[in-house]
A and B are shown apart, each in its own frame.
Chain A
Amino acid sequence: AQSVAQPEDQVNVAEGNPLTVKCTYSVSGNPYLFWYVQYPNRGLQFLLKYITGDNLVKGSYGFEAEFNKSQTSFHLKKPSALVSDSALYFCAVRDRGNTGKLIFGQGTTLQVKP
């Protein structure tokens, strides 16, 4: 079965420092991987996706993610964190077949302190 894991419940980083939010995946076949962000009492906002191609994917709000097939990872990164980046981040993988169903990790809370 397709799955993703986010090993950290919370990541703390100082404003201006680089941030990394970790995600590992387990899939059969080629993975379609995604990052979403959720602000309090809001729905999920799409950040970026990896389908194929370059291992470094650039997305919204200055975020990027690195696909690493040998380590089965898809970590989210940003060179310089902002306080406004504080939110809940979800990694997701598309399920097998053509349903488009997404399977989400449990989420990582990012706290950026001034």
Chain B
Amino acid sequence: DTGVSQDPRHKITKRGQNVTFRCDPISEHNRLYWYRQTLGQGPEFLTYFQNEAQLEKSRLLSDRFSAERPKGSFSTLEIQRTEQGDSAMYLCASSLATRAYEQYFGPGTRLTVT
């Protein structure tokens, strides 16, 4: 499969625990995006990378959230001290920088905080 993959697909955690999600983009894509989608809403931008550099972060990304893309390939999104309001689908997308409008989305990680 040469598409965007995300792991895990589902995560249930208790409030206060830390969670980490992984995204593997399409191999030749140098841009990687994270979005969050809550029930009944469209995806909202969280952050994006070009290669290993994190170039923009949304105000939605509180201090409890951190994202990395250490070698310019896969990316991780960590949420510390999870809250019930963090329950959402976390979507990853990738693109070429020269065609940034053509984003390919992964299947998402659904987080449930109990």
Contact = CB atoms under 8 A, between A and B. Distances in A.
B55 A49 contact: no
Interface residues of A, number: 25
A99 B100 contact: yes
A78 B6 CA distance: 31
Nearest to A33: B101
Interface bin, chain B: 20 to 34
Interface in B8-35: 31, 33, 35
Contact of A100 (B91, B101, B106, B107): B101
Contacts of B110: 41
A90 B44 CA distance: 12
Interface of B: 4, 6, 31, 33, 35, 40-45, 48, 55-56, 91, 93, 95, 97, 100-108, 110
Interface of A: 32, 34, 36, 41-46, 49, 51, 90, 92, 94-95, 98-107
